[in-house]
Amino acid sequence: MHRELNIPYTITAERLHSIESEIKATGTYHHTFEELDYGAKVAWRNSNRCIGRLFWDKLHVLDKRHLTAEEELLDAVVHHIDYATNSGKIRPTITIFPQGKAADAPFVIVNDQLVRYADDPIAGPLKQQVERLTADRSHILPLLYRYDGELKTFEIPADVIMEVPLVHPAYPAFSKLNLTWYAVPMISAMDLRIGGITYSCAPFNGWYMESEIASRNLLDTYRYDLLEQIADTFQLDRSTTVTYWRDKALVELNYAVYHSFKTAGVSIVDHYTASRQFEKFEQNELAEGRKVTGDWTWLIPPISPSLVHNFHKGYDNTYNNPNFYYRSKKSC
């Protein structure tokens, strides 16, 4: 059951007192659903590197803190993927599992994203950990998780994972590369911290900005490194740098990714629209009397950065809480 709650949340003296006595008695405390819901939304609003924050108060918060059995926890991960994908009309969603730092939470996901291709160079270390535990070799890495202190794998059912075939409307030869990408980016190894409590298992998703897939995942030399092959399908002259073939290939690939997702009915945003939405977010925050914080180095898109407004201004990179944090590697 999912409840939309009003923003903002105001804490009472009674609530503060009850928290204090719970901490005195147990050394920690537990959020009400309202505190959890509001805390997760504000953590998104405080994520300095996120260009998608205009919709921060529309986050779908799935509270799974009551789950204890392994099957139920895994089922909630599958439910997140299905609920968030929503047949392509992606719902920005976070599922919050029982609290605790990674070292002592009952259930912790090791994968940095719920969906990761086994042949993606970035998957290296995770793939090695998986191969030590299972002979399974599907093209999408299984979930690697810790339950009650034991490291285990789980094959996510293929029918909940939506993928998009990448095509370019004007270059039929492009589809000969047989490129696909998964529809929903779901970050699964960041800590959510609210009011001194750490949720080390709180996977969250939004939708992609096209340049993440096109400019980075497919073109970075330490990722799929496909610049030359993609330029050739666009029949670009690669004999010298100054035909600007690299730049033309990058732009056409961004165009192809955006249109492939749109054609498949999967939510995606182009970098220009995303920047305009971020500008609206800045205006809204100003109107609400809040200072916007941001990390300029991540907020500018990896395609035509100077053509968007946020390239031409600075951002205060102060880290306010609630927020999301990288989990320290040793803890897993």
Q: Which residues here bind ligand HEM, judged by CB under 6 A? A: 44, 47, 49-52, 55, 59, 92, 94, 204, 206-207, 209, 212, 269, 274, 298, 324
| Choices 61-69, 133-141, 204-212, 271-279 (CB under 6 A): range interacting with ligand UGT | 204-212
Output the six-digit token pair for 147.
């339950």
Closer to ligand HEM at the Cβ: 92 or 100?
A: 92
Catalytic site includes residue 332: no
CB of 243 to ligand UGT, least distance (A): 30
Closer to ligand HEM at the Cβ: 154 or 191?
A: 191
Is the separation of the CB atoms in 54 and 277 below 8 Å?
yes
In the set 35, 44, 45, 50, the catalytic residue is 50
Closer to ligand HEM at the Cβ: 192 or 249?
A: 192
**Using the 8-state DSSP alphabet, how is residue 44 labeled?**
H
Interface pick for ligand UGT out of 174, 204, 245, 281 (rule CB under 6 A): 204
Interface pick for ligand UGT out of 206, 294, 301, 322 (rule CB under 6 A): 206
Output the six-digit token pair for 120.
């993606």
Q: Does 44 bind ligand UGT (CB under 6 A)?
A: no
Q: Does 187 bind ligand UGT (CB under 6 A)?
A: yes
CB of 81 to ligand HEM, least distance (A): 14
Is the separation of the CB atoms in 110 and 146 below 8 Å?
yes
Cα(47)–Cα(292) distance, rounded to whole angstroms?
A: 10
Catalytic site includes residue 50: yes
CB of 269 to ligand HEM, least distance (A): 5
Question: Do you find a cis peptide bond into 301, omega within 30 degrees of 0?
Answer: no
Question: Do you find a cis peptide bond into 106, omega within 30 degrees of 0?
Answer: no
Q: Does 295 bind ligand UGT (CB under 6 A)?
A: no
Amino acid at 83: Y
CB of 284 to ligand UGT, least distance (A): 19
Cα(217)–Cα(124) distance, rounded to whole angstroms?
A: 14
Closer to ligand HEM at the Cβ: 142 or 206?
A: 206
Residue 308 CB: number of other CB atoms within 10 A?
A: 21
**Which positions lie near ligand UGT, rule CB under 6 A?**
52, 185, 187, 204-206, 208-209, 212
